[in-house]
Amino acid sequence: MRWWGIDDFKEYHRRADVWPLDPDGELTVWILIEEEEGARNLPQILDEVPVSAVIAAEVDMSTSMGIPGGRFDERVEEVMAGIVAACKLRGVPVGALATRDNIERRIREGYQILITGDAHLAWKC
């Protein structure tokens, strides 16, 4: 309560809930999908858990698939597309790394959360 500057216990409880489960909630739950198993289980997770957003981690995904540095490999892209489809079907925002080279494509693919910054330098793998 003190971190939010709230003195009223009822106000705290009104706001301290998970959005979108509670439209007035100010807490969010983001999950990170880094392996094919997580991607396969994502539809069930999204159907059973109040998730605010999903981040598809293609760098870790490619490594877990035995393709280190292959974040744009067609096998990784296929898994990533499945993550986007599962999220889109359920109205859950999905994000991934976006570089100067792929940001427009990521938007066309349906990503709403674009993790940028120095990604064009740090994630050339």
In the chain, domain spans = 26-122
- Residue 63's SS3 state is helix
pLDDT value of residue 14: 80
Distances (CA, A) of 9 to 5, 18, 19, 35: 11, 17, 19, 40
The answer to whether 45 and 35 are in contact (CB under 8 A) is: no
Does the reported pTM lie above 0.85? no
Series of mean pLDDT values for 10-residue runs along the chain (125 residues)? 84 81 86 97 95 94 94 94 98 92 92 78 51
Q: Which amino acid is at 88?
A: K
Q: What is the pLDDT of residue 56?
A: 96
CATH number for the segment(s) 26-122: 3.20.20.60
pLDDT of 124 reads: 52
What pLDDT does residue 118 have? 57
Residue 102's pLDDT is 86
